[in-house]
Amino acid sequence: MRVHAITLFAALAAVAACNKVDTKDAEKKVKDIAEENIGPVKSVSCPSADRKKGVKFTCKVTFASGGSGNMQIELMDDEGNFTPNWVPWIVDGEKLAATVSGGLKEQQPDLGEPAVDCGKGVVEVPAEGIACHVKAGAIENDLMVKSSAEGIEWEIKK
């Protein structure tokens, strides 16, 4: 009888595990997203969570550069498909600078090659945006860079 109880317990545990997010899989997917968008990742830690549409949980991401961020995961269905979101928004300062520089060149090709500095490493972006310094020839300005529904936008800092 004892063998049957252990077998039943193991079967119930397996069924319960089917209703949970595979944390190792979630951590790998979060790492892949973080490395693609920010930079090399040192570690990722995701909590146990129910695998059910609408469930939200937050994974802690530590970057090789020393910075860190929190990626919120919202499950879109019971199959484990999800939408990731940095909370708060974080960026790699150098990658952001390259994006702004490319955008400025598209908007104003006569500027030449703008030098943009948005900081180094992983930085948290406050609601009002992140300050980036731009120098293009004789022109020098500070921009406030923000994330919007359309992507990245900037305006001259006043």
Predicted TM-score (pTM) of the model is 0.72
**Nearest alpha carbon to residue 42 among 62, 69, 27, 70:** 62
pLDDT score of 121 = 87
Contact between residue 89 and residue 152 where contact means Cβ atoms under 8 Å apart = no
Residue-wise over 19-47: b if at least 16 C-beta within 10 A, else e?
Answer: eebebeebbebbbebbeeebbebeebebe
User: Residue 151 has what pLDDT?
Assistant: 77
For residue range 98-125, list pLDDT tens digits in order: 999 999 999 888 888 899 999 988 988 8
Please choose, from the candidates 52, 124, 51, the residue with its C-alpha nearest in 3D space to the C-alpha of residue 86: 124
Q: What are phi and psi of 148, to 5 degrees?
A: -135, 175
Phi/psi zone of residue 39: left (φ > 0), alpha (ψ -120 to 50 degrees), beta?
left
